[in-house]
Structure 1
Amino acid sequence: MSNVILWDYPKSSASYRVRIALNLAGIDYEIRTVDLLARDHIGPDHMARNPQGFVPVLDIDGHRLTQSLAILEYLDATRDIGLLPKEPVARAQQTALAHAIAVDLHPVCNLSVVGFATKGKEPQRTEWMQHFITPRMAAFEAILEGFDQSPFCCGATPSLADIVLMPQIYNANRWGADYSDCTRIKKVETACSAHPAFVAAHPDR
């Protein structure tokens, strides 16, 4: 049994990111599922782990960490997996690219937000997802023009942007959001889909 424990829900975008990063770092970890649909995340056990009631929660190196972007930063700093460049301008630019999804798009597609806004009803829920995902994927595509996809978002190795993009692609496909014209994103999707760290992290694996 691993001493690294990931409190996780398979289809959670934030959890998906952390699984990718753990795989990139070659870290052996144990998954303990927190069922969001069963509302386990707001039960006393999980609230004791994270008072926000969110996944992921990562137990690693004797620490308990929350918030996927903070966890990714920790893994990059301690395992040197190269998620962001060291040069300040390039680092800021690649961080902004990743945040276009992780900060600007992901929160409005969060299960609790969508549930409150649509009361969980269809077709309102699907319309909500498509309304936000489709144009913001197009915006990400436009920002990608400033980077060299060879073959990943920002170069020859997976970056923070790739780690946040692939869970969003999964969501786009789930909700029928159209990104078929996003040729740069499709190129990155192909590369990531063939990478073992991404394959092993996939929610449907």
Structure 2
Amino acid sequence: MILHGYWRSGAAYRVRIALNLKGVAYAQHGVDLRTGAQRDPAFLARNPQGLVPALEADGLILTQSPAILEWLEETRPEPALLPRGADERAQVRAMAALIACDVHPLNNLRVLTALRGDFGADQTRIDAWADRWISAGFDALERLVERHGEGFCFGPSPTFADVNLIPQMYSARRFNVDPTRWPRLSAVEAAALALPAFADAHPDRQPDSDGPPQG
């Protein structure tokens, strides 16, 4: 498999975590969003939307991280990242969508670029914008983890919910949002990052990273 992504992309981060949890070997190809590499014709041939990640696997090119996670769960079901029961699976999918659909899109690069370029927002306003949406999502997820968590977001082992949460915790810090405001989410993050599958997926440990090395 080849994962086309950007080291700091939250969506690519999710896929790295899932691949690691599933024990799937993959190579990485960096697509630097800062230089516009996502608009290169060669990449657009893989993903006409011009977004990361794109996963080349089994003769396919898969895009959109939620679809990639579902494909991985269906084609490589062990270890499971969704519970067995339909009711529980729906709860986990809802927790994951809270991040993937309602929080992350509002602080991704395209939106931030528009806020700066089209509306003249400086970094203080960018941080306030990100805080608004991250905080709303984290407030809700904190209550859901209180209801369903047993060490992780849902139950005692990682699920799609954790795969989505951990990249968003990383993103929160980039916008000066202090995740310790949410003690249950912080406890989940600590439990997740103690696992190599999560730790090795961290942006600063990726081959195209220009961030600080992680010990």
Q: CA deviation at 1:69?
A: 0.5
- Residue of structure 2 in register with 1:14 after alignment: 11
After TM superposition, what 4+ stretches of structure 1 lie above 4 angstroms from structure 2? Answer: none
What residue identity is the alignment partner of 2:177?
A
8 A Cα contact 1:65 1:71, kept in partner: yes
Counterpart Cα distance in 1 of 2:149 and 2:135: 23
- Residue of structure 2 in register with 1:138 after alignment: 139
Deviations 1:12-32 (A, max 9, x none): 000000000111111111100
Q: Secondary structure at the match of 2:204?
A: coil
Q: Find out whether 1:196 has 2:168 as its counterpart.
A: no
- Residue of structure 2 in register with 1:56 after alignment: 53
Identity of aligned residues (%): 44
- Residue of structure 2 in register with 1:185 after alignment: 185
Q: Secondary structure at the match of 2:148?
A: coil
Deviations 1:62-82 (A, max 9, x none): 211000000000111111131
Q: Secondary structure at the match of 2:153?
A: coil
Deviations 1:145-168 (A, max 9, x none): 22032x211122210000000000
Deviations 1:120-154 (A, max 9, x none): 632222222122212221121112122032x2111
- Residue of structure 1 in register with 2:210 after alignment: none
Q: CA deviation at 1:199?
A: 0.7
Counterpart Cα distance in 2 of 1:142 and 1:65: 33
Counterpart Cα distance in 1 of 2:180 and 2:4: 33
Deviations 1:156-202 (A, max 9, x none): 22100000000000001111113323111011011011000001100
Greater percentage in helix: 2
Q: Secondary structure at the match of 1:74?
A: helix
8 A Cα contact 1:7 1:34, kept in partner: yes
Q: CA deviation at 1:41?
A: 0.5
Q: Find out whether 1:122 has 2:120 as its counterpart.
A: no
What residue identity is the alignment partner of 1:133?
I
Q: Find out whether 1:153 has 2:153 as its counterpart.
A: yes
Instruction: Give the root-mean-square deviation of aligned CA atoms.
Output: 1.2
Give the paired residue count: 201
TM-score using structure 1 length: 0.94
What residue identity is the alignment partner of 2:99?
I
What stretches of structure 2 of length at least 5 have no aligned partner? 206-215
- Residue of structure 2 in register with 1:66 after alignment: 63
Counterpart Cα distance in 2 of 1:26 and 1:180: 30
8 A Cα contact 2:173 2:179, kept in partner: no
- Residue of structure 1 in register with 2:95 after alignment: 97
What stretches of structure 1 of length at least 5 have no aligned partner? none
TM-score using structure 2 length: 0.89
Counterpart Cα distance in 1 of 2:157 and 2:145: 15
8 A Cα contact 2:4 2:30, kept in partner: yes
Deviates more, 1:123-132 or 1:90-99: 123-132
Counterpart Cα distance in 1 of 2:88 and 2:155: 12
The alpha-carbon distance between structure 1 residues 45 and 121, as it changes in their structure 2 partners (threshold 3 A), is farther
Counterpart Cα distance in 1 of 2:128 and 2:116: 9
